[in-house]
């Protein structure tokens, strides 16, 4: 009798191990064979114990921050980089599960980045200005299905547009920039000017180090002197 009780308890424990709960934000996937998948909706479920591998796939909205890896150009040849926030979710768990298991998380991230970059590239080429590009991104890049990945891009929103100085911008093109883009462009102009000044100074030092020291003395004094009387005679600067 005792042995029967032990056997019954063992059977009950084994059967109870087949119960599992799927969270509201997920679906459960049991891989029974290499090609057969069983999908479980949120709730309490039971499967044959020790048969099939149980995986939970998160289906709620996710967000990824992506920086455009390539230079974009509008129809008017305005060059810029764009950073975006991509909101996406799994809509076909089977396809997502198969892709993820075949390629890995890193490859999935790269694939998402490439798909988004290509969409930005195409929109930029059709846009007449940066403001037009921003409008098209906000209006067109919504609810885009990617069946191969099993996901849907709910929205792709611009977080930053960084113009690139390839030529001197005209006043007309400047008027079309958003506040953030204009500020970024001003920073680039300043950085480019600083870089140009640094290169000029390096060339001067290589050509005539003594005159370079003389130049730097004048430059430093002009920033620190309280009045003209505090600056020594030029011939003294050159000699000392």
Same domain, 84 and 153: yes
pLDDT digit string (tens) for 169-204? 555 455 666 676 677 777 777 777 777 677 777 776
Q: Does residue 51 carry a pLDDT above 90?
A: no
Residue 77 region, left (φ>0) first, then alpha (ψ -120 to 50), else beta?
left
Q: Inform me whether the pLDDT recorded for 238 exceeds 60.
A: no
Record the tokens describing residue 36, joined without a space. Answer: 């057969």
The pLDDT of residue 99? 93
Higher pLDDT, 146 or 190: 146
Residue 82: closest CA among 23, 136, 162: 162
Q: What is the pLDDT of residue 62?
A: 93
Q: For residues 159 and 229, which has the higher predicted lDDT (pLDDT)?
A: 159
> For 210-224, what is each residue's pLDDT tens digit?
767 766 777 676 666
Among 81, 77, 56, which residue's Cα sits nearest to residue 69? 81
C-alpha distances (whole Å) from 117 to each of 10, 91, 145, 208 are 56, 21, 15, 48
Which residues span the domain enclosing 198?
184-239
Mean pLDDT of 157-162: 84
CA–CA distances in Å: residue 59 to residues 28, 43, 88, 95, 233: 10, 14, 9, 13, 75
Tell me, yes or no, whether 137 lies in a domain: yes
Asked if residue 91 is part of any domain, the answer here is: yes
* Number of domains making up the chain: 3
Same domain, 70 and 52: no
Say yes or no: 11 and 73 in one domain: no
Report the SS3 class of residue 39.
strand
Same domain, 71 and 161: yes
């Amino acid at each position: 009798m005792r042995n029967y009780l032990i056997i019954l308890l063992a059977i009950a424990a084994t059967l109870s191990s087949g119960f599992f709960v799927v969270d509201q934000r997920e679906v459960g996937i049991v891989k029974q064979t290499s090609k057969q998948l069983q999908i479980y909706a949120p709730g309490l479920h039971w499967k044959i114990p020790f048969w099939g591998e149980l995986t939970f796939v998160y289906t709620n909205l996710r967000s990824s921050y992506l920086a455009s890896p390539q230079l974009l150009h509008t129809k008017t040849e305005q060059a810029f980089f764009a950073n975006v926030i991509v909101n996406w979710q799994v809509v076909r768990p089977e396809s997502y599960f198969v892709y993820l298991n075949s390629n890995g998380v890193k490859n999935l991230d790269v694939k998402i980045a490439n798909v988004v970059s290509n969409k930005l590239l195409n929109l930029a080429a059709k846009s007449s200005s940066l403001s037009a590009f921003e409008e098209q991104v906000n209006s067109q890049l919504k609810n885009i299905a990617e069946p191969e990945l099993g996901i849907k891009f709910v929205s792709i929103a611009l977080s930053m547009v960084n113009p690139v100085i390839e030529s001197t911008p005209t006043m007309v093109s400047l008027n079309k920039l958003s506040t953030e883009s204009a500020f970024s462009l001003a920073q680039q102009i300043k950085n480019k000017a600083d870089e140009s000044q640094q290169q000029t100074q390096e060339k001067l030092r290589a050509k005539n180090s003594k005159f370079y020291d003389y130049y730097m003395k004048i430059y430093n004094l002009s920033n620190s002197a309280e009045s003209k009387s505090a600056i020594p005679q030029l011939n003294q600067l050159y000699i000392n």
